[in-house]
Amino acid sequence: MMMMMMMMMLMRSLMTIINRTSELKHFRALLEFERIMQTENKARLQKEYDRKRAIRLYCADSVGKGEDDDADAAADDDDDDDYEEEEQDDHDDNDDHDD
């Protein structure tokens, strides 16, 4: 009888150990899965950040080029005004000679 009780306690302890081991394996698997998901999430977030950064840089570059073009156009307009003023001065000089 005593032997039977010891065997039952031993079996119960053994079953507890097996269950705990199984739970630990399951927990480790969950931790590994979570680590993989975090790694994939970080990679996805980094890719999204890089894409947005590239768009921002492209837009900034495009805007920068537009400003340079506007500045060049304004400079060209100033040159045209100078040319028109010189023509007007030439015509005024010719008018003085006609008198």
Alpha-carbon span 15 to 1, nearest angstrom: 21
Q: How many domains are contained in the chain?
A: 1
Residue 59 covered by a domain: yes
Residue 69 covered by a domain: yes
Residue 66 covered by a domain: yes
In the chain, the percentage of residues whose pLDDT exceeds 90 is: 28
Residue 87 covered by a domain: yes
Q: Which domain holds residue 82?
A: 52-92
Is the pLDDT at 50 greater than 90? The verdict is: yes
- Which helix (H) or strand (E) covers residue 30, if one does? helix 2-98
Give 30: exposed, middle or buried? Use CB within 10 Å, 0-12, 13-18, 19+.
Answer: exposed
Residue 75 covered by a domain: yes
- Verdict on whether the full-model pTM lies above 0.75: no
Residue 80 covered by a domain: yes
Is the pLDDT at 93 greater than 60? The verdict is: no
Residue 79 covered by a domain: yes
Residue 38 covered by a domain: no
